[in-house]
Amino acid sequence: MKPFLAVAVTLLALSSTAQARDLKEIEGSKKLICGTQSASEPYAFQDPATRKFVGYDVDMCQALAKGLGVALEHKPLSTEARIPELKMGRVDVVAGSMAYLPERATQVDYSVQYLQGSIKVLVRRDDKIDSLAKLEGKRICASKGSSSAALATRVLAKSQIVTYQDLATCYLGLQNGKVDGISAGELTLKRFEIESAKSGAAAVLVDEPLFTERIGVVVSKGNTELLDAINKVIARMDKDGELDGIYAKWLGRDSIYKLTRQFKVEPVAQAN
């Protein structure tokens, strides 16, 4: 076998056998590698002043590491890289605002619900689109690899769904007329709506939601001991008020959104 071919075969073998660590390995290393999205305010994003990553999911990662008695290594990920990075063992868990979908549940295992949100559509105000039915034939943009893209394809079957690398590109497409709407989480779209009012090219949210997302921390398929430990940490956070505190900080009374937490900590499939 030629040297370069032998190296390629070795690398392939290594990549195919890579696995996420189990609870004992995490405890032994005294470190939890927790992945979040890299640019999704208020879930996980870089603070402009400090350049450090902050957000609801970053706080969840910190709480999970603390609950497991280990240090945190936070790893920001692109939306589409969340499951592949987990499967390749580059992160131990993902607290990346990953909504429960049956097709996803065949690839990863979900913790109990730690967050809930609505998927909505943002449109140009001048287009006067006030219902999902009026999106028929329209070009709707979503972030590549996101649950919003999957849900838009399913719910808006008569629309044309296009995917870009990130929502900022979708928003630019809405502004310049390349797309007619953006499908994403309500909070992210709300920020675009606020921003658009300042620019003069006003955009508005369609009231009717595409879907209510049930969100859990995900681990590699069959990593049962780690999943059980994470569920216990989240249940304890719910009981002692820590989860309420994180919600209030990023989504509730202390945030610009002023939302009231209504979801329960329960299995995500049950919640659906």
How many structural domains is the chain composed of?
A: 2
Query: Which residue has 């709707």 as its token pair?
Result: 140
The answer to whether the pTM exceeds 0.95 is no
Q: Is residue 145 within 8 Å of residue 219, measured between CB atoms?
A: no
Same domain, 78 and 193: no
Bridge partners for 123 per DSSP: 181, 204
pLDDT for 4 equals: 43
Its domain, for residue 28, covers 23-116+214-267
Residue 31 placed within a domain: yes
CATH number of the domain encompassing residue 88: 3.40.190.10
Spatial distance between the Cα atoms of 243 and 265, rounded to a whole number of angstroms: 10
| DSSP annotation string for the chain | --HHHHHHHHHHHHHHH-----HHHHHHHTEEEEEEESSBTTTBEE-TTT--EESHHHHHHHHHHHHHTSEEEEEEE-GGGHHHHHHTTS-SEE-S--B--TTGGGTEEEEEEEEEEEEEEEEEGGGT--SGGGGTT-EEEEETT-HHHHHHHHH-TTSEEEEESSHHHHHHHHHTTS-SEEEEEHHHHHHHHHHHHHHTS-EEE-SS-SEEEEEEEEEETT-HHHHHHHHHHHHHHHHHTHHHHHHHHHTSTTSSS-------SSBHHHH-
pLDDT for 269 equals: 86
pLDDT for 271 equals: 57
Same domain, 99 and 219: yes
pLDDT for 128 equals: 95
Same domain, 197 and 235: no
pLDDT for 18 equals: 63
Residue 11 placed within a domain: no
Q: Which tokens belong to 180?
A: 């007619």
Same domain, 249 and 178: no
Q: pLDDT tens for the chain, 272 residues: list them.
A: 444 444 444 444 444 446 789 999 999 999 999 999 998 889 999 999 999 999 999 999 999 999 999 999 999 999 889 999 999 999 999 999 998 989 999 999 999 999 998 899 999 999 999 999 999 999 999 999 888 999 899 999 999 999 998 999 999 999 999 999 999 988 889 889 988 988 878 999 999 999 888 999 999 999 999 999 999 999 999 999 999 999 999 999 999 888 889 899 999 987 55
pLDDT for 17 equals: 44
Q: Which tokens belong to 195?
A: 């921003």
pLDDT for 10 equals: 41
Same domain, 147 and 197: yes
Same domain, 185 and 261: no
pLDDT for 201 equals: 84
Bridge partners for 71 per DSSP: 31
Residue 134 placed within a domain: yes
Q: Is residue 220 within 8 Å of residue 111, measured between CB atoms?
A: no
pLDDT for 197 equals: 87
pLDDT for 42 equals: 92
Residue 17 placed within a domain: no
Residue 13 placed within a domain: no
